[in-house]
Amino acid sequence: MRGAGSLVRRRPRRSPCRLLADAEAGRAAAGRDPRPGRGDPCLPLCGAGCRSRIKRGAVQRLAPCREGSLHLQRGGAAAGAVPGRLRRPHALRRRFRQRAPVLGPGTGRCFPAGSRSPQTEEGGLIVRIPFLRPNPARLSKLLPGLEAIEASGTFTNYGPVNSRFEAEATAKFFGGRGGCLTVNNATIGLMLALREAAGEAPRGATRYALMPSFTFAATAHAAIWAGLTPLLCDIDPDRWTPCARSEDALLERYAGQIAVVMPYATFGNGLDLDRYAALARRHGVGIVVDAAASLGSIDDSSQGFGTGFPHAIVYSMHATKTFATAEGGLIYCDDTERLARLRTMGNFGFGEPRTATMPGLNSKLSEAGALLALAKLEGFEQIVAHRAALADAYRHGLPGCRFQQVVGRQIAYQFMPVSMPADHPGPRAALLASLAAAGVAAGHYFSPHLAEQPYFQRVSEIAELPVTERVASRILSLPLADSMTVAEVEMVCAAVR
Residue 5 has pLDDT above 90, yes or no: no
For residue 176, which phi and psi values (nearest 5 degrees)? 85, 0
Kind of pairing, strands 229-233 and 208-212? parallel
pLDDT reported for residue 488: 96
The 10s digit of each residue's pLDDT in 338-359 is 999 999 999 999 999 999 999 9
The reported pTM is 0.77
B/e letters for 162-189, b = 16+ CB within 10 Å, e = fewer, are beebbeebbeebbeebbbbbbbbbbbbb
The 10s digit of each residue's pLDDT in 35-64 is 433 333 333 333 333 333 333 333 333 333
pLDDT reported for residue 139: 93
Residue 92 has pLDDT above 70, yes or no: no
Task: Give ranges for CATH 3.90.1150.10 in the chain.
Answer: 380-496
Residue 275: count other Cβ atoms within 10 Å of its Cβ: 13
Helices (H) and strands (E) in the chain, counts: 14, 19
Residue 419 is inside which H or E element, if any? strand 416-419
CA distances from 440 to 119, 436, 480 (A): 10, 5, 11
Least confident of 134-148, 228-242, 420-434, 447-461: 420-434
Task: Give ranges for CATH 3.40.640.10 in the chain.
Answer: 139-376
Q: Residue 151: what residue type?
A: A
pLDDT reported for residue 281: 97
In the predicted model, what is the mean pLDDT of residues 358-375? 98
Residue 494 has pLDDT above 70, yes or no: yes
Given a contact cutoff of 8 angstroms between Cβ atoms, the answer to whether 95 and 441 are in contact is: no
Given a contact cutoff of 8 angstroms between Cβ atoms, the answer to whether 284 and 260 are in contact is: no
DSSP structure class, residue 432: H
CA distances from 272 to 186, 276, 292 (A): 22, 7, 16
CATH says 380-496 is which class? alpha beta
- Residue 250: exposure state from Cβ atoms within 10 A (0-12, 13-18, ≥19): buried
Rounded to the nearest 10 degrees, the angle between the axes of helix 244-253 and helix 273-283 is: 10
Instruction: Say whether 475 sits in a helix, a strand or coil.
Output: strand
pLDDT reported for residue 124: 57
The 10s digit of each residue's pLDDT in 162-211 is 999 999 999 999 999 999 999 999 999 999 999 999 998 777 789 999 99
CATH code of the domain made up of 139-376:
3.40.640.10
Percentage with pLDDT > 70 across the chain = 75
pLDDT reported for residue 348: 98
Give the C-alpha separation, 37 to 22, whole Å: 16
Closest CA to 169 of 389, 319, 328: 328
For residue 53, what are the β-bridge partners? 42
Cβ-Cβ contacts under 8 Å for 44 (sequence gap 6 or more): 19, 20, 21, 23, 24, 25, 101, 110
N residues, the chain: 497
